[in-house]
Amino acid sequence: MSGHSKWNNIQGRKNAQDAKRGKIFQKLSREIYMAAKSGGPDPDSNPQLRLMVDKARAANMPKDNIKRAIDKSTGADGANYEEITYEGYGPAGIAILVHTLTDNRNRTASAVRADFTRNGGNLGESGSVSFMFDRRGYIAIDREDLDVDEDQMFEDVINAGAEDLQTSEDVFEIYTDPKDFAEVRDELQKKYELDTAELTMVPQNYVPVPEDKVEQLERLIDRLEDEDDVSEVYHSGEFPED
């Protein structure tokens, strides 16, 4: 596992994400709909739906919005969404994965391709960069005002069933096998407040972003995240801390 802190990238983009809360709710609704459509409307018997509902609650999505998304999955007039992942390279050769949920693949492909082209990137073929990422469960616990040393956290993390712990002055970062993520998260929640808990794609190696390419790469990521059909954007870039 790379020694780079995923926390830096998360914190660096948090304010921008908060400003897009309405759009985030829209995307979460589609993800909840898709999970309920494929695995049933009961979170207790549908692990993927449970994860999506937990994700929505963590984003402070209203309960009524969550219920409407689940109810929609049982109706005959619901839109038919499909999941498509696009792969490409951004400025400075940064690998980028774009997960989408769409009811019109031509519209989505055109929009994603345009975002890459107009912002110094290139859309690649399927499989061109996905091999550089691993699916992982990711949990972050802020160390501020937390009276727990690394040894105690390591013991708790291992006992909960996690695979790896990375420690910095600011945060404990825990990585899990995807299938163990929910169990590890629930176990750690008994003792700690979790700042981030999600299934994500983690690059096997982070690539430092040259200072003269930071603005261009950020603009590309912003454009992709602004697309209605885009649910997640993952990249291998390591931004300067400032």
pLDDT digits (tens, 9 = 90+) for 88-131: 999 999 999 999 988 899 999 999 999 999 999 999 999 999 99
For residue 177, pLDDT over 80 is answered with yes
82-131+204-238 and 133-203 in the same fold: yes
Contact 97, 201 (CB under 8 A): yes
- Which pTM value belongs to this model? 0.79
The pLDDT value recorded for residue 1 is 44
- CB burial readout 93-132, b (16+ within 10 A) else e: ebbbbbbbbbeeeeebbebbeebbeebbbebbeeeebeeb
Q: Which two tokens stand for residue 105?
A: 């693949």
Report the Cα 169 to chain-centroid distance in Å.
Answer: 23
CATH fold of 133-203: Alpha-Beta Plaits (3.30.70)
Q: How far apart are CA 108 and CA 184, in angstroms?
A: 35
CATH superfamily of 82-131+204-238: YebC, transcriptional regulation domain (3.30.70.980)
How does residue 235 score in pLDDT terms, banded at 50, 70 and 90? Answer: very high
When mean pLDDT is compared across 17-21, 123-127, 217-221, the lowest value belongs to 17-21
Contact 86, 98 (CB under 8 A): yes
> Using one digit for the tens of pLDDT, what is the confidence trace for 151-167?
999 999 999 999 999 99
Other C-beta atoms within 10 Å of 138: how many?
Answer: 20
DSSP for 153-208, written as a single string: HHHHHHHHT-SEEEE-SSEEEEEE-GGGHHHHHHHHHTTS--SEEEEEEEESS-EE
**Strands (DSSP E) along the chain, which ranges?**
82-89, 95-102, 122-123, 133-142, 164-167, 171-176, 196-203, 207-208, 230-235, 237-238
CATH superfamily of 6-73: Integrase, N-terminal zinc-binding domain (1.10.10.200)
Q: Which residue has the higher pLDDT, 67 or 9?
A: 67
For residue 12, pLDDT over 50 is answered with yes
The pLDDT value recorded for residue 2 is 44
For residue 176, pLDDT over 80 is answered with yes
Q: Where are the domains of the chain?
A: 6-73, 82-131+204-238, 133-203
